[in-house]
């Protein structure tokens, strides 16, 4: 079978066209960017979407992530003002805002940020004592962020946050700090226990006082009510007796029957005898005197 040279040329041209199209069309994901160089010089920054380049003339750089990045750095030894070596872990939150500057202004911006963070951290913490460094994390973070953001701005990078993950002092200092904190906790616990005991005693005494007051008030009210009841009972009996026009002799007899009950109380030292009862007793005595001593018959 004979091959037509024209068909061979057409097939070769089709393959070349396909290769050119494949190398010319590129799709860049969202929040990504790539630098386009034409003949070795910066031509443009290709953003998300479909982009066209000229094969063998244009070159696409590596993909640059435009999202905020989190970069942890290994512990760095730092000497404080009181000559103590502490290991500090840092985390930097940054974002590429200018892909062109991040590509051409600095060789490796991640390593540059790490070295700048270490240098700035040593300068800041070196002017603080250990106790100040442990209690001034917010201040250190703010100073680090200010210095890094200013230095990395010309690199097309924005540093949003810098956080100190941990500040590890030497083991001997850690033991001393642990003992100090334990003593402080024991002192606070003793103070709280003493305060609790004091408040408990105060509340107990206050409760006893209130109970005594309430008991005394209850007894006083009970005595008053009892006296009022007895007075009302006497008044009722007196009114009933007078309304019934009872005989004085009968009254005297009833009074004599009530005397043993009156004498039962230990506090009854004084007996008050109404005048009507006295007169009745006299009449009752005269009535008993009218009877003879021997046979009980009335005297003539």
Range of the domain at 280: 246-300
Domain check: are 150 and 197 in the same one? Answer: no
Residue 153 lies in a domain: yes
Q: What is the pLDDT of residues 183-226, one digit of tens each?
A: 777 788 888 888 888 888 888 888 888 888 888 888 888 888 88
Residue 174 lies in a domain: no
Q: Residue 265's pLDDT is what? A: 56
Which of 31, 35, 23 has the alpha carbon at shortest distance from 48?
31
pLDDT exceeds cutoff 50 at 296: no
Least confident stretch, 13-17, 47-51, 149-153: 13-17
Residue 30 lies in a domain: yes
E-strand ranges in the chain read 25-28, 32-38, 41-46, 49-52, 58-60, 64-65, 69-79, 85-96, 157-168
Phi, psi of 117 (to 5 degrees): -65, -45
CATH of the domain at 152: 3.30.479.30
Domain check: are 96 and 156 in the same one? Answer: yes
Q: What is the mean pLDDT of residues 62-72?
A: 92
252 pLDDT band, cuts 50/70/90, is: low
Question: Which of 137, 169, 201 finishes a domain?
Answer: 169
Q: What is the pTM of this model?
A: 0.54
- Give 66's contacts (C-beta < 8 A, 6+ positions apart): 31, 32, 33, 95, 96, 97, 99
Q: Residue 185's pLDDT is what? A: 78
Least confident stretch, 61-70, 140-149, 168-177, 217-226: 168-177
Q: Residue 300's pLDDT is what? A: 43
Which of 26, 145, 19 has the alpha carbon at shortest distance from 92?
145
Least confident stretch, 90-104, 226-240, 274-288: 274-288
Residue 150 lies in a domain: yes
Using CA atoms, how far residue 39 sits from 25, 42, 47, 57, 291, in Å, is 18, 9, 20, 6, 163
Question: Which of 229, 244, 259 finishes a domain?
Answer: 244
What percent of the chain has pLDDT above 70?
A: 74
Residue 111 lies in a domain: yes
Burial of 23 (0-12, 13-18, 19+ CB in 10 A): middle
Residue by residue, what is the 3-state secondary structure of 139-163? HHHHHHHHHHHHHHHHHCEEEEEEE
Domain check: are 258 and 228 in the same one? Answer: no
Residue 73 lies in a domain: yes
């Amino acid at each position: 079978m004979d091959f037509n040279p024209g068909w061979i040329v057409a097939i070769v041209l089709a393959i070349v066209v396909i290769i050119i199209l494949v190398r010319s069309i590129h799709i860049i994901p969202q929040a990504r960017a790539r630098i386009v160089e034409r003949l070795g010089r910066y031509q443009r920054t290709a953003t998300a979407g479909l982009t066209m380049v000229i094969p063998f003339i244009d070159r696409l750089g590596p993909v640059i992530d435009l999202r905020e990045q989190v970069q942890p750095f290994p512990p760095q030894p730092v000497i404080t003002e009181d000559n103590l070596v502490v290991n500090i872990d840092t985390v930097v939150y940054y974002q590429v805002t200018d892909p062109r500057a991040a590509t051409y202004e600095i060789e490796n911006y991640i390593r540059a940020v790490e070295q700048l963070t270490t240098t700035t951290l040593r300068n800041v913490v070196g002017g603080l004592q250990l106790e100040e460094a442990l209690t001034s994390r917010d201040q250190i973070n703010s100073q680090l962020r200010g210095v890094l953001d200013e230095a990395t701005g010309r690199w097309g990078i924005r540093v949003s946050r810098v956080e100190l993950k941990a500040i590890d002092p030497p083991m001997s200092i850690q033991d001393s700090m642990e003992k100090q904190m334990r003593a402080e906790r024991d002192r606070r616990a003793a103070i709280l226990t003493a305060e609790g005991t004091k408040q408990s005693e105060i509340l107990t005494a206050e409760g006893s006082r209130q109970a005594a007051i309430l008991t005394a008030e209850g007894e006083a009210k009970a005595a008053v009510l009892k006296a009022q009841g007895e007075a009302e009972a006497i008044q009722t009996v007196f009114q009933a007796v007078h309304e019934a026009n009872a005989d004085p002799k009968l009254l005297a007899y009833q009074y004599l029957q009530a005397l043993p009950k009156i004498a039962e109380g230990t506090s009854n030292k004084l007996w008050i005898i109404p005048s009507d009862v006295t007169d009745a007793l006299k009449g009752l005595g005269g009535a008993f005197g009218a009877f003879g001593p021997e046979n009980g018959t009335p005297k003539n």
